[in-house]
Amino acid sequence: MAGSLQTGIHLYRSKRWDAALNELLQVDTSTFGAEENAELAYFLGLCYTKLEQFDNALLYLEQVVTGGSNPLRTYQCRMTLAYIYSVTGRSKLAEFELQQLIEKGFESVQIYATMAYAAYTQKHYDEAIELYQKALDLERDNPTALNGLGYILADTDRDIRRGLILCKKAVEKKPQNPAYMDSLGWAYFKNGEILEARTWLRRALDLLPQHPEIKQHMKTVLGAD
């Protein structure tokens, strides 16, 4: 039985990624025009991204970007491409996608925060700090930017006290986010507050017990006793 584009989209929006992908892969495109093909490619790319099948995701997202008929969708795809490149260690490609958006007049907290993370992974710390600050200039209480900037300031010893303050604010905004808990725990450690560091890192590990960076942070903190 042929799949339905609208059913696949509904399944995707219901967060049933596997079912959505299966439905979309069976869609008969023989009568599709350019707009419908672009929409199908867009949702296939998103499904593969959610399922962390990044190589397949790139193929479909690039189709949408190359077509370029819908500026908003192109923006969304470039942001997703930048995310994929960042998490797979291809920071230069992530920066390229984001720079393309800025040159076309797009400016957002998400763009600057993603660019900052890409810069951080390349150990361009001053650039990362500047980009996170730009994100906070646009939205001063954005938790992603608060956490990112706070972590770098603490981790690099540039301003450990401010780093701790920013990490606290991020956790206040998103109290169940384990990445933010980890940053806060590490910022406490950099400030010499070992008990608080262990408390927050333990909370982060309870939620992400196999995360390598959180495990390493905890090992370091335990070794400081």
Q: Which long-range contacts (CB under 8 A, 24 or more apart) does 91-99 make?
A: 91/118, 91/119, 91/121, 91/122, 92/118, 92/122, 94/118, 95/119
Can you give the pLDDT at residue 175?
96
Least confident of 62-71, 149-158, 206-215: 62-71
Question: What 3-state DSSP class applies to 69?
Answer: coil
C-alpha to C-alpha distance for 140 and 135, rounded to whole angstroms:
8
Q: Residue type for 129, please? A: I
Average pLDDT, rounded, for the chain: 92
In contact, 185 and 212? CB cutoff 8 Å: no
Q: What is the mean pLDDT of residues 186-193?
A: 97
- Nearest one of 21, 70, 29 to 49, comparing CA atoms: 21
In contact, 194 and 225? CB cutoff 8 Å: yes
All structural domains of the chain with their residue ranges: 1-88, 142-225
**The pLDDT of residue 102 is above 60:** yes
**The pLDDT of residue 225 is above 60:** no
Query: Which CATH code, of 1.25.40.10, 3.40.50.150, 3.40.50.2000, 2.60.40.1120, is assigned to 142-225?
Result: 1.25.40.10
- Nearest one of 33, 40, 34 to 60, comparing CA atoms: 40
**The pLDDT of residue 23 is above 90:** yes
Distances (CA, A) of 23 to 5, 26, 101, 108, 222: 8, 5, 31, 33, 49
pLDDT in tens, 136-187: 999 999 999 999 999 999 999 999 999 999 999 999 999 999 999 999 999 9
Q: What residues does 3 pair with on adjacent strands? A: 27
Model confidence, pTM: 0.71
Q: What is the mean pLDDT of residues 9-32?
A: 94
Angle made by CA atoms 78, 54, 215, in degrees to the nearest 5: 105
Q: What is the mean pLDDT of residues 96-108?
A: 84
Q: Residue type for 112, please? A: Y
